[in-house]
Structure 1
Amino acid sequence: MKTTSDSLRHRTTTTGRISGNASPACFSRSQSFSRDIGHAASETYLMSRLAFTLLRYLGLGRRWMLRLLALLLYAMLLMPGFLRVVYQFCVSSQVRRSIIYGDQPRNRLDLYLPNNIDSPKPVVIFVTGGAWIIGYKAWGALLGLQLAQRDIIVASIDYRNFPQGTISDMVEDVSQGISFVCKNISEYGGDPNRIYLMGQSAGAHISSCALFQQAIKEFKGDSISWSISQIKAYFGLSGVYHLPNLIEHFERRGLHRSIFLSIMEGEESLKQFSPEMFVEDPSVKNAFSILPRIILFHGTEDFTIPPHASITFVETLKRIGVQADLILYKGKTHTDLFVQDPLRGGKDELFDYIVDYIHAGDVDALAKVAMAPPRKRLCPELLLKLAGIVSPF
């Protein structure tokens, strides 16, 4: 009978993703040019397909044509930075791409590893956004590459999107991805006792559902494949936590009510997938005492998901006794915190906070971070400012 480690080595070797040796030091340092080109082509194809899927559901009315044009201009302005990230993602020997974590379509994750794994490293499990329709693991490439430079392993989880799956499928996929990382990350030099969960936008919603539903399972004594105790903290960036409060807002933004309710499996399921609502259910209230610290981040000028979504959720969590903090960034939009600021390089309040929080108490790691060179600027400031002006988000 094969062990988990044996099974993992067999699976990753046969897919051609990584070396059969589980030790990161033994992974091949060179990748064939044809494989890199093939991977880049497959990534481009999938991203294009996701974009067309989104357009098909949103329709091609005048308002959405204007939004599409704004999105194209936004992407063109940031292209110098995007191309550098795509190149690093496709050719870096520190990126383990498309590791299989489950049997469903899109059950893949990307791992971003530090250059030198001389001791077990902390791990961030990241769940990307994408309006539940165009979420994709590669959206986490910039975060993954930059955190890996600060001695933090990042696992960016892919999951089924609508219409391939609905919200329960997405939560199930993310939970399974978390389980895989918890069980196998030591094979890649990660510390299984220092795992952090992070989600952005729709990814913050999905990952928070996975985390809070896991707490309920443990409270009820259900069978589990990973434990809340393995997660040291939860980082929610620009997330959604109370679905009914945002239906009309999303309708005005172009995500039609019928589509939104289809994604969420009907109006009767909104509470089930609204963490802010089900944490106050008296029958499971005590389940949330085992939750890790919850830290939410939001920009005050976020018009895609208003900051009130995070403000009220933190208030609710504190009311039931959960350790929760809220950090608001004045003047920041939905994409500033996750796209423009990281492309800008240098100092970044959100990035620096996460790094310092994860390495807190590790004197050697903090010393290395303090001596690390500043993050490189990936896009000219003028283009970043223009992108912020035309952004449809």
Structure 2
Amino acid sequence: MENQGDTAHLLARVSTLPTLPSIPYSNYQRRRKPSSKTKSTIYNQGSFSREIGHAAAETYLITRLSFKLLSYLGLGYRWITRFLGLALYAMLLMPGFIQVAFYYFFSPLVRRSVVYGDQPRNRLDLYLPAKIDSPKPVVVFVTGGAWIIGYKAWGSLLGKQLSEHDIIVACIDYRNFPQGTIGDMVEDVSQGISFVCSSIADYGGDPNRIYLTGQSAGAHISSCVLVRQAIKESRGETVSWSTSQIKAFFGLSGAYNLPNLVDHFNNRGLYRSIFLSIMEGEESLQKFSPEIMVQDRSSKAAVHLLPHIILCHGSSDSSIPLDSSKAFVDTLHRVGVQAELILYDGKTHLDLFIHDPLRGGKDDLFDCIVAYIHANDKEALAKDAMAPPRKRLAPEILIKLARRISPF
């Protein structure tokens, strides 16, 4: 899956999309037309050479990282069976995934691979409403993927749905393991949030209405970023963005206390040795556990800088137990943070994020996020109420089969 992410990034680099009239022209690059056939030939040759060089560099990187990851994984039975299960899972849901992929690659409303930093994975995708006649609320989304197979395009279904309700979505990519460890992931996401806070107005977004959302490993990473940022601000450190710019945090099926989950992940195929390598050693588990971080005495002033935190979790989630969100909410209440838990009875790890959206029609999680963001906008709420039912993207029988063999 890491290979697929880098390949998709390469494809995104060599594609172009038309510019929307409502978006400032200065934000996009346009190749200047050559003035003669000779110049055109030289330009095309140079461009082709650059693309070949980039492809070679990407291929080398992917190959090197794949072998490095294989050296960590070995020939473990659990991860091999889960990889095969993931492949079958993707095949079953391919009818829906193809439709979303077509939108992702060909919609003029998607701005792919906007650069926010100098690392190879420092890119983000923007999903824009069809009409931007006023500053729109913004959702910054951090995808999951077990800290290993995360990729920004995984958020395309969420981006499509929210943008249809006049919400701009920024899906942040970040270095995965073994290209980076948890410290690199946190740094990347923080830098991506900083870019959104400072630049989203250029794309029609409202910098005063930014909401942070993460799913699974993405919920863990983004919650770490949020708590660490609050700690920095409380100590008077120089920061490039402020937690006050985040109106709320939505954590979907996240992990917030790593020491409590090491054995659980090990039993599910994310072996202890690999997990500890991702998290930079056992001694670092606590400093990358938001539930533990907010209880530290030195963080007493920081917790009051945190925004409203809303954690969503399915009761039948076997990848990350429901207790992870329950315990974090209880801890947040004890330290004085406004937080709530929304429990979805019978939902699994991917029901809320993939299966329910693919079914179309009513989507409880999606409706909850939209209602919260539009709570003080009567016009937007009225428009939401009149919106047509969401289209089904995959047959129910395929969704049920995929749900049964899902490795997550």
When structure 1 is superposed on structure 2, of 362-371 and 191-200 the one drifting more is 362-371
Which of these residues, 138, 143, 146, is aligned with residue 161 of structure 2?
Answer: 146
Distance 1:360 1:53, change over 3 A: farther
CA distance in 1, matches of 2:74, 2:232: 39
Q: Counterpart of 1:92?
A: 107
Alpha-carbon deviation of 1:89? Answer: 0.2
Give the alignment of 1:74-223 within 5 angstroms: 74-223=89-238
Figure out how many residues of one structure are paired with residues of the other and give that number: 370
Q: Counterpart of 1:245?
A: 260
CA distance in 1, matches of 2:364, 2:69: 32
Q: Counterpart of 2:32?
A: none
- Residue 296 of structure 1 aligns to a residue in which SS? strand
Deviations 1:232-274 (A, max 9, x none): 0000000010000000000001111111111111111111100
Letter in 2 for 1:105: P
CA distance in 2, matches of 1:138, 1:223: 32
CA contact (8 A) 1:317 1:323 kept: yes
CA distance in 2, matches of 1:114, 1:175: 25
CA distance in 2, matches of 1:207, 1:298: 16
Q: Counterpart of 2:48?
A: none
- Residue 111 of structure 1 aligns to a residue in which SS? strand
Give the gaps of 5 or more residues in structure 1: 1-13, 29-37
1:225 aligns with 2:240: yes
Alpha-carbon deviation of 1:161? Answer: 0.8
- Residue 155 of structure 1 aligns to a residue in which SS? strand
Alpha-carbon deviation of 1:212? Answer: 0.4
Alpha-carbon deviation of 1:16? Answer: 7.3
Q: Counterpart of 2:8?
A: none
CA distance in 1, matches of 2:201, 2:294: 32
When structure 1 is superposed on structure 2, of 49-58 and 176-185 the one drifting more is 49-58
CA distance in 1, matches of 2:194, 2:312: 25
Alpha-carbon deviation of 1:67? Answer: 2.2
Give the alignment of 1:1-393 within 5 angstroms: 23-24=22-23, 57-393=72-408
Distance 1:144 1:20, change over 3 A: closer
CA contact (8 A) 1:234 1:292 kept: yes
CA distance in 2, matches of 1:16, 1:73: 29
Alpha-carbon deviation of 1:74? Answer: 1.1
CA contact (8 A) 2:258 2:289 kept: yes
Deviations 1:17-44 (A, max 9, x none): 567899427699xxxxxxxxx9xxx9xx
- Residue 124 of structure 2 aligns to a residue in which SS? strand
CA distance in 2, matches of 1:310, 1:318: 12
Letter in 1 for 2:260: N
Q: Counterpart of 1:4?
A: none
CA distance in 2, matches of 1:386, 1:16: 35
Identity of aligned residues (%): 68
CA contact (8 A) 2:17 2:108 kept: no
Distance 1:298 1:263, change over 3 A: same
Give the gaps of 5 or more residues in structure 2: 1-12, 29-50
Letter in 1 for 2:290: P
CA distance in 1, matches of 2:351, 2:73: 24
Q: Counterpart of 1:6?
A: none
Name the TM-score, length of structure 2 as normaliser.
Answer: 0.85
Alpha-carbon deviation of 1:59? Answer: 3.3
CA contact (8 A) 1:22 1:188 kept: no
Distance 1:68 1:53, change over 3 A: farther
Deviations 1:2-25 (A, max 9, x none): xxxxxxxxxxxx987567899427
CA contact (8 A) 1:22 1:187 kept: no
CA distance in 2, matches of 1:102, 1:360: 33
CA distance in 2, matches of 1:355, 1:388: 25
Letter in 1 for 2:136: K
CA distance in 1, matches of 2:143, 2:305: 25
CA contact (8 A) 2:144 2:215 kept: yes
Alpha-carbon deviation of 1:61? Answer: 3.4
Cα RMSD (Å) = 2.7
Alpha-carbon deviation of 1:58? Answer: 3.0
Distance 1:368 1:20, change over 3 A: closer
Q: Counterpart of 1:9?
A: none
When structure 1 is superposed on structure 2, of 57-66 and 255-264 the one drifting more is 57-66
CA distance in 2, matches of 1:381, 1:391: 15
Whose Rg is larger?
2
CA distance in 2, matches of 1:169, 1:282: 26
CA contact (8 A) 1:70 1:391 kept: yes
CA contact (8 A) 2:79 2:270 kept: no
